[in-house]
């Protein structure tokens, strides 16, 4: 036996005064009585005769000295050599992923796993250290190495269920790093409490679990745990219960149809039985579609739907089948609402140009006749004033251009006048598009090299700042140019629409559609439904501009107006589907959100006024998690590998104190009851 | 606070009034002694012996049975009341001290007796007789008696009742009523003194006082007990068991007193010292049938 704190043996000096005082005895208290007749009768008749009576004072002294010895020895903290040899460091990995919410084990797999973790904690020996790690989503150390059972138990109790995917492999790696590189490997133990079979690699995750494979391969065929690599014990929870779940659910706005949107749904039958069920898709609680499904065992059904609606909102997919895992029976997606785009057409009248905007159901078209040209300065002034009004939206200028282009978004077609941005040159006859920027979204699905353009206008830009030529003629003259300056976006098409077949070609409406998308920056078209456990980034500046869309069409690079300034100045919060609210850091350019640990629609809100700025759908969307089957060979009885020690998992000092306390109690009782007489 | 204040005197007067019925007499004294002699009230018979007065022979008995029996008559004389007050140091024990109550009892009894025209003497004792208030008569002497009582102090060594009674009975005095007011904690035993008084034909009454802590002490642990009478020391370890034995012994002592009283017709009153003296006197009167 060794002592952890041998210096505390100095307290043995306390025995000396005890013995001295005992031998000297404390002076007896004198009590006057009227007569000692009766006392003499008592004590003279009962003189101590037995050895016990004669030795009682020495026994009392012995008891006191023993009491001090026990307490001092407890302070010295003795321990046996085998305690240090059998010291264990244990990492308990509790899988709190979505599949652990399955109810095939009552009340749930996670509850059973937590019970098992508590059992492991109760089985700790003194000086054992244990850490608790969760494996739902990113592995997290919920309690570092500790010997304090109550702390560890509270940590296990605080493990909550999530809809995150399983990350047991990463958790095991984390546990190994926690355990460190110790030589005495037999004292390191990792206890994995999960429902995933080791041989069952995640089907849609990127986890490369070589170490896990190594562990799995080393398993004897008839033994499912207690593998030698660093004392890895695996306890599985669950049955072979089947489950049918929605493993993918996405929506996006159609790139062609301004009102259309597409839905992608995938349902997987992760059971050994054929299943009949029904998939119902709702948009804001209105049924959009209902699909009866007949799924063979293991079948994965996938289909895309094309629907039409200008309204945005929550798309919800529901399976009408109650199974062991309810999390994947519902899925959500956020459909962006189509906003009306105010377009002001300043033209003397071009039917093609007018119709191409009128045919777009999202365009609110206003046509303005151009003012007279004389006197030039006076006639052009009202146009400038009109265009600078905040409700102008996108302004399409056909032929007529104000002398100074105000702030705003302009689509200038076939200009006949110079302005502060360019100087108009000579007409170009039969220009042929020689260079076309294929990467520009403005020219997506648009080919101009085969379009006959009898006439165009030569322009010379006053400044090259913000000027980007998207299409040039063979002579190098710009035909399609974008000019982006602070507070101003201009798309300049110098081709004469009145002549040539550009308005007759499909490229024209596509080009105009692209132009509208470019002007409105094409935001809100696709909001991907995120899988649980994912982390995403949002553009805070764009969020602010989106909010200002209700007043004006957003302009990239535009100086923030008062509302967007207010939005950026607000503190933001992320609200989970269950109402949990977490404050977000003060927004900068971009903000990371997540990981999202719950299925449903998450909201980014401004704390001031609780205005919803953004919605994000989050679904399980994990085939591995939806497959809650545990192979029969993996379903094992509770492990009893972590057994208690002979000392009842308590230190020797505790037993010494307990014995001292018992001795003290007996001595006190004997003194009070005077049994020593 | 004086021991005998105005309130005390009022109580004495009250007690003397309620006790008047008790002491009826035909001669000077209103209380008949138990002495047989030349009175007119028949007491009992005894065998005739040579030299007895023929006038007292009961001729009716002789005529019926042929036996010569002499009639005895209760002698009627004024009562001599001897109040023996224990002034040993053990009487200073108690809360209030037993000595205070004892003096109040003596004063009360003396007052009642003097009010009944009896003769009263007070003998203060400890290990021996230490002071005397000589035989006196008349209610007007009560103040002197109270002054005497007030001047008494506890003193002496261990109570020696036998020695005290012996000295008392050797005095040339008439027999009468002897009332001992004491705690009776006599190392030699109270019986010697009691017996001697009985043998000398004193009508014996005893008032035994004790304190609550004497009956049920609350002592525990290692103690050095000091006898305040004898200054004797006893080092003891008092346990619950010892306390139990003490209570048993004390109760046995009290019971032996009662047995003695019943056996020899000794009037005995046992009381704790926290009892007011007037209540105690009334209780004694009720016990003797003096008051209803």
Burial of A93 (0-12, 13-18, 19+ CB in 10 A): buried
User: Is B240–A673 a contact, with Cβ atoms under 8 angstroms apart?
Assistant: yes
Q: Is A275 helix (H, G, I), strand (E, B) or coil?
A: strand
Instruction: Give the tokens for residue A390.
Output: 């905040």
- pLDDT for residue A675 is more than 80: no
Which residue did the predictor score with more confidence, A10 or A560? A10
Q: Cα angle at A56 between A52 and A62, to 5 degrees? A: 120
Per 3-state DSSP, chain A is made up of helix, strand and coil in percentages (nearest 5) of 30, 30, 40
- Which stretch of DSSP H or E encloses residue A272? none
Cβ–Cβ < 8 Å for A69, B262: no
Does any CB of chain A come closer than 8 Å to the CB of residue B221?
A: yes
Question: Which of A348, A496, A486, A483 shows the shortest CA–CA distance to A422?
Answer: A483
Residue of A nearest to B232 (CA): A36
Count of CB contacts below 8 A, A vs B?
81
User: Is A31–B246 a contact, with Cβ atoms under 8 angstroms apart?
Assistant: no
How high does pLDDT run on average in chain A? 79
Q: Is A10 helix (H, G, I), strand (E, B) or coil?
A: helix
Structure confidence at residue B100 (pLDDT): 92
**Where would I find the H helices in chain B?**
6-18, 59-65, 98-115, 142-150, 161-169, 191-199, 212-215, 240-264, 277-288
Spatial distance between the Cα atoms of A76 and A79, rounded to a whole number of angstroms: 9
How many CB atoms are located within 10 Å of the residue A538 CB? Answer: 18
pLDDT digits over A250-270, tens only?
998 877 777 888 999 999 999
Spatial distance between the Cα atoms of A275 and A244, rounded to a whole number of angstroms: 8
Diameter of chain A measured on Cα atoms: 147
pLDDT digits over A607-622, tens only?
777 788 888 999 998 8
A13 to chain B, closest Cα gap in Å: 27
What's the whole-number mean pLDDT along residues A532-548? Answer: 73
Domains along the sequence of chain B with CATH: 6-26+77-288 (3.40.50.410), 36-74 (no CATH)
Half-sphere exposure of A17 (CA within 13 A, CB side): 3
- Give the contacts of B8 (CB within 8 A, at least 6 positions apart): B104, B107
Spatial distance between the Cα atoms of A604 and A611, rounded to a whole number of angstroms: 8
ipTM: 0.79
Does any CB of chain A come closer than 8 Å to the CB of residue B215?
A: no
Question: Which of A121, A297, A325 shows the shortest CA–CA distance to A238?
Answer: A325
User: Is B242–A42 a contact, with Cβ atoms under 8 angstroms apart?
Assistant: yes
pLDDT digits over A432-465, tens only?
888 888 888 888 888 888 888 888 999 999 988 8
Residues of chain A neighbouring B219 (CB-CB closer than 8 A): 31
Residues of chain A neighbouring B236 (CB-CB closer than 8 A): 39, 42-43
Domains along the sequence of chain A with CATH: 2-77 (no CATH), 83-240+628-650 (3.40.50.410), 341-519 (3.40.50.880), 530-617 (2.60.40)
Cβ–Cβ < 8 Å for A99, A196: yes
- pLDDT for residue A407 is more than 90: no
B2 to chain A, closest Cα gap in Å: 24
CA trace torsion B100, B106, B109, B112 (10° rounding): -90
- Which stretch of DSSP H or E encloses residue A465? none
Backbone φ, ψ for residue A7 (5° rounding): -60, -25
Structure confidence at residue A333 (pLDDT): 93
Does any CB of chain A come closer than 8 Å to the CB of residue B235?
A: yes
pLDDT digits over A553-592, tens only?
233 333 344 444 444 445 788 899 988 888 887 656 778 8
Confidence of residue A497 (pLDDT cuts 50, 70, 90): confident
- Give the contacts of B65 (CB within 8 A, at least 6 positions apart): none
Distance of CA A401 to the CA centre of its chain: 51
**Where would I find the H helices in A25-100?**
37-45, 51-75, 81-85
Q: Is B27 helix (H, G, I), strand (E, B) or coil?
A: coil
DSSP string covering A166-235, please?
A: B-HHHHHHHHHHHH---S-GGGEEEEEEESS-TT---SS-----HHHHHHHHTS-TT--S-BTGGGEEEE
What's the whole-number mean pLDDT along residues A185-199? Answer: 74
Which residue did the predictor score with more confidence, B75 or B99? B99
Spatial distance between the Cα atoms of A296 and A536, rounded to a whole number of angstroms: 35
* Structure-token match 């999390």, residue found: A327
């Amino acid at each position: 036996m060794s002592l952890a704190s041998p210096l505390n043996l100095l307290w043995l000096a306390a025995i000396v005064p005890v013995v001295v005082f005992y031998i000297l005895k404390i002076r007896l208290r004198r009590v006057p009585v009227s007569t000692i007749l009766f006392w003499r009768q008592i004590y003279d008749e009962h003189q101590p005769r037995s050895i016990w009576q004669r030795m009682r004072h020495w026994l009392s002294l012995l008891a006191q000295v023993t009491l001090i010895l026990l307490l001092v020895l407890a302070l010295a903290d003795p321990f046996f050599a085998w305690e240090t040899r059998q010291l264990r460091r244990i990492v308990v990995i509790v899988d709190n992923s979505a599949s652990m919410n399955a109810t095939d084990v009552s009340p749930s797999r996670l509850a059973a796993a937590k019970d098992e973790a508590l059992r492991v904690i109760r089985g700790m020996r003194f000086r054992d250290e244990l850490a608790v790690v969760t494996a739902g989503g990113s592995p997290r150390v919920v309690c570092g190495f500790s010997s304090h059972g109550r702390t560890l138990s509270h940590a296990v109790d605080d493990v909550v269920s999530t809809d995150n995917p399983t990350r047991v492999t990463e958790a095991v790696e984390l546990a190994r790093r926690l355990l460190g590189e110790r030589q005495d490997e037999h004292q390191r133990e990792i206890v994995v409490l999960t429902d995933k079979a080791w041989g069952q690699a995640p089907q849609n995750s990127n986890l490369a679990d070589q170490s896990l494979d190594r562990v799995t391969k080393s398993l004897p065929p008839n033994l499912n745990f207690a593998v030698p690599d660093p004392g890895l014990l695996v306890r599985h929870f669950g049955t072979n219960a089947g489950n049918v779940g929605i493993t993918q659910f996405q929506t996006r706005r159609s790139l062609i149809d301004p009102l259309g949107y597409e839905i992608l749904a995938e349902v997987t039958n992760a059971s050994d039985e054929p299943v009949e069920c029904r998939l119902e898709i709702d948009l804001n609680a209105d049924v959009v579609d209902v699909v009866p499904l007949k799924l063979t065992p293991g079948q994965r059904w996938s289909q895309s739907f094309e629907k039409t609606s200008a309204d945005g909102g929550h798309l919800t997919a529901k399976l009408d089948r109650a199974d062991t895992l309810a999390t994947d029976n519902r899925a959500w997606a956020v459909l962006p609402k189509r906003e009306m785009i105010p377009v002001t057409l300043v033209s003397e009248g071009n039917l093609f140009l007018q119709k191409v905007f009128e045919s777009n159901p999202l365009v609110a078209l206003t046509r303005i006749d151009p003012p007279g040209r004389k006197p030039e300065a006076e006639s052009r002034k009202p146009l400038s004033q009109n265009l600078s009004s905040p409700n102008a939206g996108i302004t399409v200028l056909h032929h007529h251009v104000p002398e100074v282009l105000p702030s705003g978004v302009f689509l200038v077609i076939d200009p006949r006048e110079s302005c502060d941005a360019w100087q108009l040159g000579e007409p170009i006859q039969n220009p042929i598009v020689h260079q076309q920027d294929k990467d520009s979204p403005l020219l997506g699905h648009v080919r101009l090299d085969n379009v006959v353009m009898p006439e165009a206008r030569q322009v010379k830009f006053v400044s090259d700042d913000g000027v980007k030529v998207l299409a040039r003629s063979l002579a190098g003259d710009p035909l399609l140019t974008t000019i982006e300056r602070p507070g101003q976006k201009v798309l300049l098409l110098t081709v004469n629409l009145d002549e040539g077949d550009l308005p007759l070609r499909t490229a024209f409406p596509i080009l105009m559609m692209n132009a509208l998308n470019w002007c409105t920056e094409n935001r809100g078209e696709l909001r991907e439904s995120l899988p649980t456990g994912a982390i995403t980034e949002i553009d805070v500046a764009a969020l602010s501009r989106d909010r200002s869309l209700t007043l004006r069409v957003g302009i990239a690079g535009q100086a923030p107006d008062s509302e967007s300034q207010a939005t950026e100045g607000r503190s933001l919060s992320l609200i989970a589907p269950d109402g949990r609210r977490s404050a977000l850091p003060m927004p900068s350019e971009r903000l990371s959100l997540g990981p999202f640990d719950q299925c449903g629609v998450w909201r980014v809100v401004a704390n001031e006024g609780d205005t919803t700025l953004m919605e994000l759908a989050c679904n399980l969307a994990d085939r591995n998690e939806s497959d809650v089957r545990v192979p029969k060979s993996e379903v094992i009885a509770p492990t009893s590998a972590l057994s208690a020690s002979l000392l009842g998992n308590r230190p020797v000092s505790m037993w010494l104190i307990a014995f001292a306390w018992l001795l003290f109690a007996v001595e006190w009782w004997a003194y009070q009851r005077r049994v020593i007489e | 606070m004086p021991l005998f204040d105005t309130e005390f005197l009022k109580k004495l007067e009250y007690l003397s009034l309620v006790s008047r019925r008790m002491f009826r007499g035909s001669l000077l004294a209103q209380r008949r002694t138990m002495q047989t002699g030349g009175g007119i009230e028949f007491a009992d018979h005894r065998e005739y012996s040579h030299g007895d007065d023929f006038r007292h022979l009961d001729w009716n008995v002789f005529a019926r049975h042929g036996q010569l029996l002499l009639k005895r008559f209760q002698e009627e004389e004024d009562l001599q009341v001897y109040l023996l007050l224990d002034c040993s140091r053990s009487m200073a024990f108690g809360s209030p001290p037993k000595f205070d109550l004892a003096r109040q009892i003596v004063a009360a009894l003396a007052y009642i007796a003097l009010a009944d025209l009896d003769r009263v003497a007070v003998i203060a004792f400890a290990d021996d007789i230490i002071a005397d208030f000589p035989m006196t008569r008349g209610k007007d002497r009560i103040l002197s008696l109270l002054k005497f009582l007030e001047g008494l102090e506890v003193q002496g060594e261990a109570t020696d009742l036998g020695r005290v009674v012996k000295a008392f009975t050797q005095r040339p005095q008439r027999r009468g009523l002897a009332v001992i007011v004491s705690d009776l904690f006599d190392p030699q035993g109270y019986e010697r003194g009691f017996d001697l008084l009985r043998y000398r034909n004193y009508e014996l009454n005893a008032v035994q006082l004790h304190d609550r802590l004497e009956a049920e002490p609350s002592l525990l642990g290692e103690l050095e007990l000091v006898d305040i009478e004898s200054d004797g020391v006893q080092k003891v370890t008092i346990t619950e068991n010892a306390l139990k034995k003490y209570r048993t012994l004390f109760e046995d002592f009290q019971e032996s007193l009662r047995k003695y009283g019943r056996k020899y017709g000794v009037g005995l009153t046992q009381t704790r010292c926290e009892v007011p003296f007037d209540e105690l006197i009334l209780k004694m009167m009720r016990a003797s049938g003096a008051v209803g």
